[in-house]
Amino acid sequence: MRGYTVKMKAHRIVLLLIFLVVFPSILSAQERRCSICHGKKDFSVKDPSGKTRSLYVNESVLSNSSHGKLACMDCHTDAFEIPHAKKLKKVDCSACHDKRRILEKGPGIDYFQYRESVHAKELKKGNKKAPDCALCHGSHDILSKNDIKSRGYRLNIPDKICGKCHEKALSEYRKSVHGSYTTKGDITPPVCTDCHTEHGIKRTADPTSTIYATNIVEMCVKCHGDYSIMQKYGKKTEEVQTYYESFHGVATKFGEKNIAHCASCHGYHEIRSKEDPLSTINVKNLPVTCGQPKCHPGATANFAKGKVHVNPKSRESGIIFWVAFGFKWLTITVLIVLFAHIFLDFLRKMQEKRKKGI
Ligand code: HEC
Ligand code: HEC
Ligand code: HEC
Ligand code: HEC
Ligand code: HEC
Ligand code: HEC
Ligand code: HEC
Ligand code: HEC
């Protein structure tokens, strides 16, 4: 009897062990089906052109990525039969990331916004150089933007995403005030996506674009009009206020597209400080900046001598401050004298009336 019980127990233990080994392997069989081939480091095919294309997928990279919990087939949904078709469908990231879908599993993005972007439109036209989701984000090595190694980490966006294709914009940006701060690790100044957005990037000529002439002021003002940001650098938000009060500012408020906005004078990727001899706003270069053919052709050094962001209330504005100051007091004195004159005249008339009445 005793022996039988022991036998039963041993039997159960064996069954349990078998179950513990078999069940997970059934679960991961799906995965291993892929690694039989794609897990080999030298697994590759030859293109029709004769170039070898590696088909090795490093599973540890995938499991350390944001998608570590996903199975191969969560993304490659049409690879269910082995051998699978030679050409598989492109992975549909929006299946999990479209904010509008009920099945959304990951952080949602506005997919409609991406569809309207210049990149999606170019792709649709057949431009193979335009990025789909994976060309910007990667495929098996996608990390959260909070990870310093991620392509999407704020300070990596210029080099690891946009600059890969827009080299000229990147090199100009790196020479700018903004770019030199971000190169040093300061996260406040703008990277490409602050000015262009992430998924809704549009052409310069598109009126709904953030970089369309009449929308640029709003873009710069987001930071340069925000006292809490500028205060950190010991700067004021004066430039924005004075721009709005200027002729240029008033005209843009009425939607005038051919009037100087912030980027007309400062440039956009290569914005430099006024002390920098290469800056568009360096005193020496102002005749060229103001004298652009569509602005004030033939502008001389004298024309450009006047300060642009003038705040008449500030002593630093020199002669303009003193002229404004003088005019203010002149007006006040004239008004006082005028009222005194009217009052004395009134008194006099009253006196005369009284005299006549007697
Ligand atoms: C028997 C080996 C084998 C197995 C198992 C296998 N594949 Fe493949 N896979 C290939 C070969 C060969 C190619 C290259 C096809 C070609 O371009 O000629 C390929 C290509 C691919 C491609 C690229 C297709 C393209 O259009 O460029 C993907 C994605 C892929 N496999 C995913 C998977 C997934 C997911 C699994 C597991 C469910 C899997 N494979 C299992 C052999 C295999
Ligand atoms: C987060 C989604 C995702 C997961 C999970 C995923 N892949 Fe991919 N895979 C992609 C994307 C995106 C591409 C690029 C091609 C495309 O856009 O379809 C790709 C490309 C491939 C390719 C073509 C060669 C290459 O590297 O470009 C192979 C082979 C492949 N995957 C196999 C696998 C295998 C095997 C697994 C599981 C170990 C896996 N994938 C898991 C998204 C994924
Ligand atoms: C099967 C569903 C699924 C598919 C398909 C998928 N993802 Fe994800 N993705 C997720 C989930 C779930 C997370 C969140 C993981 C977490 O927070 O641990 C995620 C996270 C991310 C993140 C990181 C977000 C963050 O900041 O934390 C990015 C970026 C991302 N996915 C992009 C993509 C791209 C690009 C593709 C297509 C190549 C893709 N995903 C395909 C489900 C998916
Ligand atoms: C032009 C490059 C580009 C393209 C194309 C692009 N993205 Fe992004 N995406 C970014 C950048 C930059 C960020 C911000 C940094 C980050 O989160 O990685 C971002 C953020 C994300 C996030 C994280 C959102 C969050 O709240 O954390 C997801 C998810 C995502 N993208 C999915 C997609 C999907 C899906 C597609 C395709 C429909 C796509 N992206 C196309 C550049 C791009
Ligand atoms: C301070 C805001 C700002 C930043 C940062 C910025 N851009 Fe721009 N970008 C603009 C403006 C404004 C325009 C449109 C200028 C015009 O009217 O022609 C523009 C135009 C462009 C264009 C259109 C072609 C051209 O050069 O005129 C591309 C491409 C571009 N930017 C890419 C980038 C990339 C890549 C980065 C990051 C390395 C970046 N931008 C950073 C504001 C910015
Ligand atoms: C895989 C390459 C690639 C990546 C990555 C990429 N772009 Fe582009 N981008 C293109 C192509 C191709 C066009 C269309 C160019 C054309 O037809 O003039 C384009 C167009 C643009 C335009 C419109 C230019 C115009 O003429 O007005 C802007 C702005 C732009 N991209 C900004 C960005 C920003 C910002 C990023 C990063 C978030 C980025 N791009 C990432 C390839 C890329
Ligand atoms: C995301 C916030 C942000 C945006 C958007 C932005 N800037 Fe800046 N900008 C900064 C910061 C931060 C600095 C560095 C602090 C400083 O020196 O004023 C800076 C510096 C500058 C400087 C140099 C100031 C100096 O004293 O040396 C100029 C000029 C400038 N930006 C103009 C612009 C223009 C024009 C735009 C729009 C095309 C713009 N910025 C968009 C944050 C921003
Ligand atoms: C008509 C040309 C013009 C326009 C438009 C313009 N600026 Fe300026 N900006 C200048 C000049 C010239 C200077 C340097 C001399 C000065 O301070 O007047 C300057 C100085 C600045 C400075 C300080 C730079 C430094 O190195 O100290 C900032 C910041 C600035 N502008 C931001 C802006 C913003 C933001 C806008 C849009 C709201 C704008 N500017 C519109 C011409 C312009």
For atom 19 of ligand 4, the residue with the nearest CA is 198
Distance separating alpha carbons of residues 284 and 277, to the nearest angstrom = 8
* Ligand 5 in reach of 163 Cβ (< 6 A): yes
What radius of gyration do the chain's Cα atoms show?
35
Report which ligand 7 atom has the smallest distance to the Cα of 229.
12
Q: Please list, in sequence order, all residues whose beta carbon lies within 8 angstroms of the beta carbon of residue 161, skipping any fewer than 6 positions away.
A: 136, 151, 152, 192
Q: What is the pLDDT along the chain (358 residues), one digit of tens a residue?
A: 454 555 567 888 888 777 666 655 555 555 678 999 999 999 999 988 989 999 999 999 999 999 999 999 999 999 988 889 999 999 999 999 998 887 767 888 999 999 999 999 999 999 999 999 999 999 999 999 999 999 999 999 999 999 999 999 999 999 999 999 999 999 999 999 999 999 999 999 999 999 999 999 999 999 999 999 999 999 989 899 899 888 898 888 787 888 899 999 999 999 999 999 999 999 999 999 999 998 998 888 888 776 778 777 776 666 667 777 888 888 889 999 999 999 999 999 999 988 887 6
Other CB atoms within a 10 A radius of the CB of residue 239 amount to 19
At residue 156, the pLDDT reads 98
Between the CA of 130 and the centroid of ligand 6 the distance, in Å, is: 7
Between the CA of 242 and the centroid of ligand 5 the distance, in Å, is: 25
For atom 10 of ligand 3, the residue with the nearest CA is 106
Please give the C-alpha separations between residue 277 and each of 15, 267, 272, 280, 316, in angstroms, as whole numbers: 81, 14, 9, 8, 22
Between the CA of 164 and the centroid of ligand 6 the distance, in Å, is: 10
* Ligand 7 in reach of 194 Cβ (< 6 A): yes
Q: Evaluate the CA torsion angle 329, 334, 337, 342 in order and state its sign.
A: negative
* Ligand 7 in reach of 191 Cβ (< 6 A): no
Tokens, residue 149? 């190694």
Q: Please list, in sequence order, all residues whose beta carbon lies within 8 angstroms of the beta carbon of residue 15, skipping any fewer than 6 positions away.
A: none
For residue 167, give the ligand nearest its CA.
5
Between the CA of 88 and the centroid of ligand 4 the distance, in Å, is: 23
At residue 90, the pLDDT reads 94
What is the four-CA torsion angle of 42, 46, 47, 48, rounded to 10 degrees? 180
At residue 257, the pLDDT reads 80
Between the CA of 96 and the centroid of ligand 8 the distance, in Å, is: 45
At residue 3, the pLDDT reads 47
At residue 12, the pLDDT reads 85
Distance separating alpha carbons of residues 259 and 248, to the nearest angstrom = 6
* Ligand 3 in reach of 308 Cβ (< 6 A): no
Most informative mutation of 109, 116, 119 for ligand 6 (most atoms within 8 A of CB): 119
* Ligand 1 in reach of 55 Cβ (< 6 A): yes
At residue 1, the pLDDT reads 44
* Ligand 7 in reach of 272 Cβ (< 6 A): no
